[in-house]
Structures are given as C-alpha cells and as structure tokens.
C-alpha cells in the first residue's frame, strides 16, 4: 500500500510561472521518490501520452 503525501507538501511545490500553476521536475521527482533524470527519461519515453502544452522549459531568467 502506498503512503499518501500530505496536501500541504504538494501545494508548497506549486509555483505560478507564465501565469500558469506549475510543478518543477525536481519537485515531482522528489514526490515520486525518483531522481530527476529518471522522471524526465520516463516522460521522454512516453511523450505521446502527454498533451502538447503539458510542459515547457524555463529560461535562465525564470530559474
């Protein structure tokens, strides 16, 4: 059985960027208990499952 993550912990990882609520890959990876590159690799392998506007890359200024 999986452990539930407290809502507050998730809410603290949500940012407003470009007027959209987003979660950073590093934060999602942490919540899932995997390394960031593993999460990104899984997304790349399954890119067809995600809508085109599902994710975007941040500019250096936004980081």
With cut-offs at 50, 70 and 90, classify the pLDDT of residue 1. low
The token duo for 25 is: 């890959």
- The Cβ of residue 62 has, within 10 Å, a number of other Cβ atoms equal to 10
The mean per-residue pLDDT over the stretch 32-60 comes to 94
pLDDT greater than 70 at residue 19: yes
pLDDT in tens, 21-41: 999 999 999 999 999 999 999
With cut-offs at 50, 70 and 90, classify the pLDDT of residue 3. confident
For residue 36, what are the CA distances in angstroms to 1, 15, 46?
Answer: 24, 18, 16
Mean pLDDT of the chain: 93
In this prediction the pTM is 0.81
């Amino acid at each position: 059985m999986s452990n539930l993550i407290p809502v507050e912990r998730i809410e603290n990882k949500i940012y407003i960027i470009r007027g959209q609520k987003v979660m950073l890959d590093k934060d999602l990876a942490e919540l899932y208990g995997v390394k960031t590159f593993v999460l990104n690799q899984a997304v790349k392998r399954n890119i067809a499952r995600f809508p085109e506007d599902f994710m975007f890359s941040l500019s250096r200024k936004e980081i």
